[in-house]
Every structure is written in C-alpha cells, then in structure tokens.
Amino acid sequence: MSGERLGEFELIRKAFQDGSPEPHSTTSVVNGDDASVHAVPDGMELVISTDASVSGVHWPDGFPLDSAADRATCAALSDLAAMGAEACWAWASVISCSADDLVELGEGVNAALTRYSVELSGGDTACSSVNALTLTVGGMVPVGKAMCRNWAKKGDDVWIIGRAGFSSLGLKQWMAGMEEGYFKRYFEEIKPKLEQGVRLRELGVRCCIDVSDGVLQDSGHVARASNVGMTLELSDFPGWDLLCHKVGEKSAIHAVVSGGEDYALLFTAPEGMGFLDNFATQIGVCREGVGVEIQLNGTALEGLASGYDHFA
Amino acid sequence: MSGERLGEFELIRKAFQDGSPEPHSTTSVVNGDDASVHAVPDGMELVISTDASVSGVHWPDGFPLDSAADRATCAALSDLAAMGAEACWAWASVISCSADDLVELGEGVNAALTRYSVELSGGDTACSSVNALTLTVGGMVPVGKAMCRNWAKKGDDVWIIGRAGFSSLGLKQWMAGMEEGYFKRYFEEIKPKLEQGVRLRELGVRCCIDVSDGVLQDSGHVARASNVGMTLELSDFPGWDLLCHKVGEKSAIHAVVSGGEDYALLFTAPEGMGFLDNFATQIGVCREGVGVEIQLNGTALEGLASGYDHFA
C-alpha cells in the first residue's frame, strides 16, 4: 500500500495477480467472471480439496501474514499431492482485518501458487476481525488412479516421504521467540510434495495420505478406511535420532505422534518395492487387526495423544 | 447438541451429513479422503466458483446461523446459475465460534444443498472468534456454452429474472426489529436461479451475471467486460411500483441501484427474443459508448452510489 486508497477490485488485482502464472492450458473462462471454466481431458478425473487456515489457530499472532498465506496455500496443495494429482487451479477466499492485511495475504497466496505454477482461478474477499483463508485447489489424475485412504492391504509396507514432528517443534521455537531455533524453518515453510505424489502414483502406489494432524491420527484414518491394523516404528522415521538429540526422547515421541502440519506423505505399498528406498523411508507394516500401534525400538507405546481437535 | 461432548469428526458428520443427498453420479471418491474425485463427461466443462460469507458483514449479529449458512450456500450456487451450469458438488469451509455454532452452520449448508440436490464433496472446519463460511461450488456446462460477462453486443436487450433491491430493504427491516416487514423474507431466503440459468443457456443466451452487489455495479461488470454501454430503465424493473409505494421513490432507487444480495440473473440477448417475456423482464438495452446509465421514466439519474466495497 502506497498510501493512496485502492478500491476493492484494484486491491485484489494488486495482491493476488501481480506476476502470477499464466492461465492453465485447460482454462477457458479465467478468473473474473461469476465462475471459472475448465476442460478436463478425456481419460482424466477432477480432484478437488478445500482447506481453511485461521490466525491464532494455524499460525500464531505476529507471524508474517504473507508467510501464513503461503503456508495455507501449500497445505491445501499437499492434499492434491497425497492423491497423486497434477495441481492445476486454485480458488482463494480471504477474510482479512484490513486492506493492508489483504494485500499481505494475497501476496503469500500468489507466491506459493507461482512457485508451483498453479493458476489462481477465482476467489472472494471480505473484511472481518480475524485473518483467515480458505484455499480450494483442483487438479487431475488419470481415471481410477487417485491414491486413496482405503487401499492399504494386510502385509503392505508403510512408507513416509518427508519429516514428521519437525513443524510442531518449529512452532514452539517460534512462539518462544528463539532467533536461531533449528526447527523454525520447518514451521515457516511447507513444501507440498506434488512431484513425489505424482511419481508414487505413476509407480503404482494406490494408498496415500498427507500427515497434517500428527502421525497417529492420520495413519489411523488409513487403517480405519482400509480395515487393517498398522504397526509403526518411531526409530525408523527420518530424522528420529536428530529429534531425540535435540529435544529428548519424550518430546520427540510427542512431536512425531501428535504434532501436526508437517505435510509428509504417508503411503502403503506391497512388499518388495524396495526401490522406493531411493526417495522414501519404510516406517512400518500393515497387519491383521484394527488401529495403529506405535513402537519405539520394538516396544509398543501406550497412552499416546492423538492429533488436534478444533472443538475440544 | 445433546450435552455430551462429540469429537470434531462426529460433529462434522452430525452437522453436515445428516440426510444429505447421495453422491453425484460423477463422483468416484467421496467426501472423507484428502480430496474428492469426479468425472467430467465428454463434451462437458467444469465450472467452479467460491464465495465467502462472514458474520457481521453478510448477515447481522443475531440472525439465525442455520439461515445464514443456508443463504451463504445459495449465494454460491447463484454463481453457477449465472454461468448456466448444472450444479453438482460443493466443498464447505466453516470457521465457527463454538461446536454448537458449527452444528447450526452445518445444518444450514446441508439444508440448502439437499434442496438443490448438490453433493457435499468435502470441507474443513476450524474454531475462531467469528462465524464465517466459504462455499466452493462446482458444476458442468456443455463445452463452450458457459454464459459469461463479456458476450454482450451493442443492440442487445438487457433482461432480468428476479427482483432487485428487495433483499437490502429486507435486511433494513430485519435490523430494525420489525416483526412483519414486507421485505424481510427477501433477505431471509435466497433462491439461486439454477433452473432458469440452465434454461437461458439452452435458449442460446451467452451473457449473464448474478446481481449480488447492486444493479449498477454488476451491470457495470458486464458493460466493461463486453466493451459496450448500457441504458437501464428503473420503472421497467419487476416490482418497481410496489417498491415506490412501500418505501418511496428515493429509497427505491437506492435499493435497486446499490442494494446487494438479491441474486437476480441479469442477462443480454439479441433483439427479437420476445418469448423470453414468459419468464424474464426487459429492463434496458446495450448501446455504443461505455458505462451504465440508469434512467427513471426516460430521464438519466446522476450521482448514484455503486455497490458494497469490503475495504472502503
């Protein structure tokens, strides 16, 4: 904001559309009409997800708004990654406390979408007493190939791409005002694993979820939807030794099991797909029974806290 | 809420999915995964719009939350009507002050979607200090047939389906605490003109917008996008005499020109489509020049206020 008063429509243009990606090749009616219009080519299906992010819930007061909006956008894109979809379009609904906040939030949305070459296809804005965003994102997968939660089979291996627990420890360091906290950057920047999701789907993986609410809750979604049990070994998680070294075993357990917002991809695959080792880490197996058992060095842990409940 | 404490996931099920419509025939992965997945049949295009509604902005404090959420959902669906799309899917992001508020808001979303047979394909919830919803809605049109803002031609007639100004007067009566206000029901209930939108598109209409921000602002969007001028005659609007009789000419002018949230469909069509008279009302013409001139009994009005600016 340069001091002069911009109208709502100019504000939106300035914030959201400055240097933004070209429309996607499938788009026939661009941002600015009552709705956007897109072709979905033969043999492809539409994949859509929506994600809310709210000040004081998904980011702490004082956190830079452009970073908050960048995170919100990446969190939404992560759901497309977990389905193995190519990300194409986004629609942003932004509620902000002021015109200045709107511009900062819009710049964050625009930055993330530009980084991942995703078109902003539409949106809406309103003024209120909180800052909040809803990002709806759309993409495409070949018909019948979306990676879902209900495809895990007994005997499948469980794998992860990305770190778990690092983001929640980063948030704690940010809240404590640490200037040089090791984990801070894991909270500040989310990297939706879009390329990895597409690659997994191309390799034939059918069951995947993004870990947004802690490993226990999200692996539990897969186990329940697939009607299998699951055993996970904490010491096999990427960065486990580092976590223990930095914060101690007890905090490390809590961070991996219950800490949210890492946006790792957790997936299952039949035994014998060892080549996945090149870019993923095996952390457990699917078995008979129900529920998820979390082990540390072969011993089951009890009384673990599940992920975040917004209305607890 | 019956007093016992429901978890977040049970709350969402109770609020949003009680008696809700069956999944749409195109849906292959339903609500509950990281994203929903849908086929878009050959020859059809995808139409998507997103709409934010916030307590204190889109509805007054004290307005029943289920009605507020019903309105928010209908307002979003109205954008699909304006494109001539068949409404298929919705994704709801709901920020609420409490679990009870979440349930009320969810019930309103569910009621509206059920009335129009639209599947709830996904959503997200969070707790905050305001109640707010973002509804993203999706539908389909035959390829190339979406009704857009930039298709008005010089010489086209301008038509409207539905009343303008009635909703903003209803809001005033609601705010004034009137028990029997004539206009109140026009604020309380929005009827997205989905059937009418599809019918217009089938009749060959190419240019349409829904009047959400007042006639002057929304017709201005069409005039600018289409590079035409427009002249509208207030006395030709449906219900004009009634408006003048009830609130006087000055307030009637203000309500029609600048009052929002009526969700009438304003469209243009070539001269000689008089059969549209059966379900629409001609209110003006497209002409040479730029901008929208509003007349009353043939005399141009000056100094009219445009629609709502969220950041003014």
Calculate what percentage of chain A has a pLDDT beyond 90: 81
Phi, psi (rounded to 5 degrees) for B204 = 100, 5
Tell whether the model's pLDDT for residue B21 goes beyond 90.
no
- Let me know: does A299 contact A249? Beta carbons within 8 Å: no
- Let me know: does B75 contact A68? Beta carbons within 8 Å: no
In this prediction, residue A160 carries a pLDDT of: 97
The token pair that represents A151 in the structure block: 């495809």
Which residue in A117, A92, A87 sits closest to A107, CA to CA? A92
Give the helix/strand (H/E) hosting A229. strand A229-233
A15, A136: one domain? yes
Considering only the beta carbons, identify the residue of B52, B92, B124 that sits closest to A126: B52
Q: Distance (Å, rounded) from C-alpha B22 to C-alpha B30?
A: 10
Q: Which CATH number covers residue A113?
A: 3.30.1330.10
Alpha carbon A66 to its chain centroid, in Å, reads 17
Contact A52 B144 (CB under 8 A): no
In this prediction, residue A273 carries a pLDDT of: 86
Task: Record the pTM.
Answer: 0.94
Averaged pLDDT for residues B237-262: 95
Q: Distance (Å, rounded) from C-alpha B28 to C-alpha A60?
A: 37
The pLDDT tens digits of the residues spanning A128-158 come to 999 999 999 999 999 999 999 999 999 999 9
- DSSP symbol at B55: B
The pLDDT tens digits of the residues spanning B46-76 come to 999 999 999 999 999 999 999 999 999 999 9
Mean pLDDT, chain A, integer: 92
Q: Distance (Å, rounded) from C-alpha B46 to C-alpha A196?
A: 26
Q: Edge-to-edge, what's the strand order for the sheet holding B86-96? A: A27-29, A36-38, B44-54, B132-142, B86-96, B119-127
Contact A146 B92 (CB under 8 A): no
Helices A99-115 & A8-17, crossing angle to 10 degrees? 30
- Let me know: does A197 contact A289? Beta carbons within 8 Å: no
Which residues in A lie closer than 8 A to residue B143 (C-beta atoms)? 28, 39
B132, B212: one domain? no
B222, B197: one domain? yes
In this prediction, residue B308 carries a pLDDT of: 66
Q: Report the SS3 class of residue B136.
A: strand
Considering only the beta carbons, identify the residue of A58, A79, A128 that sits closest to B34: A79
B18, B121: one domain? yes
| Range with the poorest average pLDDT among A179-193, A296-310, B114-128 | A296-310
Min distance A187 CA to chain B CA atoms (Å)? 19
Residue B150 placed within a domain: no
Min distance A194 CA to chain B CA atoms (Å)? 13
Confidence of residue B78 (pLDDT cuts 50, 70, 90): very high
Q: Distance (Å, rounded) from C-alpha B217 to C-alpha B123?
A: 31
Q: Which CATH number covers residue A205?
A: 3.90.650.10
Q: Which residue has the tokens 């494109």?
A: B83
Which residues in B lie closer than 8 A to residue A148 (C-beta atoms)? 29, 33
The token pair that represents B85 in the structure block: 């799309």
In this prediction, residue B5 carries a pLDDT of: 57
A284, A181: one domain? yes
In this prediction, residue A91 carries a pLDDT of: 96
B97, B179: one domain? no
Number of structural domains found in chain B: 2
Considering only the beta carbons, identify the residue of B57, B121, B127 that sits closest to A126: B57
Strand bridging mode A264-269 / A132-142:
unpaired
Considering only the beta carbons, identify the residue of A82, A122, A128 that sits closest to B48: A122
Mean pLDDT, chain B, integer: 92
Q: Edge-to-edge, what's the strand order for the sheet holding A291-296? A: A207-211, A264-269, A157-161, A281-287, A229-233, A291-296, A299-300
The pLDDT tens digits of the residues spanning A89-130 come to 999 999 999 999 999 999 999 999 999 999 999 999 999 999
Cα distances (angstroms) measured from residue B196 to each of B152, B175, B268: 19, 31, 14
Residue A56 placed within a domain: yes
Which residues in B lie closer than 8 A to residue A92 (C-beta atoms)? 50
Residue A59 placed within a domain: yes
Confidence of residue B1 (pLDDT cuts 50, 70, 90): very low
In this prediction, residue A13 carries a pLDDT of: 76
Phi, psi (rounded to 5 degrees) for A166 = -65, -40
Residue A26 placed within a domain: yes
Q: Distance (Å, rounded) from C-alpha B36 to C-alpha B119?
A: 11
Tell whether the model's pLDDT for residue B2 goes beyond 50.
no
- What sign does the dihedral A9-B171-B190-A94 (CA atoms) show? positive
In this prediction, residue A2 carries a pLDDT of: 34
Q: If you write DSSP's letter for every residue of B168-227 in order, what string do you get?
A: HHHHHHHHTT-SS-TTHHHHH-----HHHHHHHHHTT--EEEEESS-HHHHHHHHHHHHT
Phi, psi (rounded to 5 degrees) for A53 = -135, 130
Contact B38 A45 (CB under 8 A): yes
Cα distances (angstroms) measured from residue B148 to each of A28, A30, A32, B47, B201: 11, 10, 10, 12, 11
Residue B57 placed within a domain: yes
A90, A209: one domain? no
B134, B171: one domain? no
Calculate what percentage of chain B has a pLDDT beyond 70: 96
- DSSP symbol at A275: G
The pLDDT tens digits of the residues spanning A253-269 come to 999 999 988 999 999 99
Contact A37 B225 (CB under 8 A): no
Question: Across the strands, what pairs with A54?
Answer: A132
Q: Name which of A34, A57, A136 to mutate to probe chain B: the one with the most chain B Cβ atoms within 10 A of its Cβ.
A: A34
Which residues in A lie closer than 8 A to residue B51 (C-beta atoms)? 93, 124
Which residues in B lie closer than 8 A to residue A124 (C-beta atoms)? 50-52, 134
Cα distances (angstroms) measured from residue A157 to each of A280, B159, B249: 12, 62, 74
Averaged pLDDT for residues A170-176: 93
Contact A124 B144 (CB under 8 A): no
B193, B90: one domain? no
Which of A118, A142, A166 finishes a domain? A142
Q: Distance (Å, rounded) from C-alpha B59 to C-alpha B69?
A: 10
Tell whether the model's pLDDT for residue A4 goes beyond 70.
no
Q: Distance (Å, rounded) from C-alpha A263 to C-alpha A82?
A: 9
Tell whether the model's pLDDT for residue B82 goes beyond 80.
yes
Which of B90, B112, B142 finishes a domain? B142
Residue B284 placed within a domain: yes
Considering only the beta carbons, identify the residue of A51, A132, A150 that sits closest to B95: A132
Tell whether the model's pLDDT for residue A199 goes beyond 60.
yes
In this prediction, residue A5 carries a pLDDT of: 57
Contact A34 B127 (CB under 8 A): no
The pLDDT tens digits of the residues spanning A64-94 come to 999 999 999 999 999 999 999 999 999 999 9
Q: How many CB pairs under 8 A join A and B?
A: 240
In this prediction, residue A3 carries a pLDDT of: 37
The token pair that represents A295 in the structure block: 């082990």
Which residues constitute the domain of residue B15?
A: 8-142
Min distance A110 CA to chain B CA atoms (Å)? 17
The pLDDT tens digits of the residues spanning B89-104 come to 999 999 999 999 999 9
Which residues in B lie closer than 8 A to residue A143 (C-beta atoms)? 28, 39
B89, B176: one domain? no
Considering only the beta carbons, identify the residue of A54, A92, A136 that sits closest to B126: A54
Q: ipTM of this predicted complex?
A: 0.93
B127, B192: one domain? no
In this prediction, residue B272 carries a pLDDT of: 86
In this prediction, residue A20 carries a pLDDT of: 78
Tell whether the model's pLDDT for residue A230 goes beyond 70.
yes
In this prediction, residue B14 carries a pLDDT of: 77
The pLDDT tens digits of the residues spanning B155-205 come to 999 999 999 999 999 999 999 999 899 999 999 989 999 999 999 999 999
Cα distances (angstroms) measured from residue A43 to each of A40, A198, B35, B183, B257: 8, 16, 19, 50, 47
In this prediction, residue B6 carries a pLDDT of: 65
In this prediction, residue B32 carries a pLDDT of: 83
In this prediction, residue B93 carries a pLDDT of: 96
Other CB atoms within 10 Å distance of the CB of residue B168: 22
Q: Distance (Å, rounded) from C-alpha A218 to C-alpha A284?
A: 14
Considering only the beta carbons, identify the residue of B46, B55, B123 that sits closest to A40: B46
Which residues have a Cβ under 8 Å from the Cβ of A94 and sit 6 or more positions away? A69, A102, A105, A106, A109, A123, A124, A125, A126, A132, A133, B52
Calculate what percentage of chain A has a pLDDT beyond 70: 96
- Let me know: does B284 contact B193? Beta carbons within 8 Å: no
A67, A128: one domain? yes
In this prediction, residue A308 carries a pLDDT of: 66
Min distance A6 CA to chain B CA atoms (Å)? 9
Which of A82, A117, A142 finishes a domain? A142
Which residues in A lie closer than 8 A to residue B121 (C-beta atoms)? 48
Confidence of residue A14 (pLDDT cuts 50, 70, 90): confident
Which residue in B136, B289, B167, B146 sits closest to B209, CA to CA? B146
Min distance B148 CA to chain A CA atoms (Å)? 7
Confidence of residue A312 (pLDDT cuts 50, 70, 90): low
Residue B307 placed within a domain: no
Contact A99 B38 (CB under 8 A): no
Residue A308 placed within a domain: no
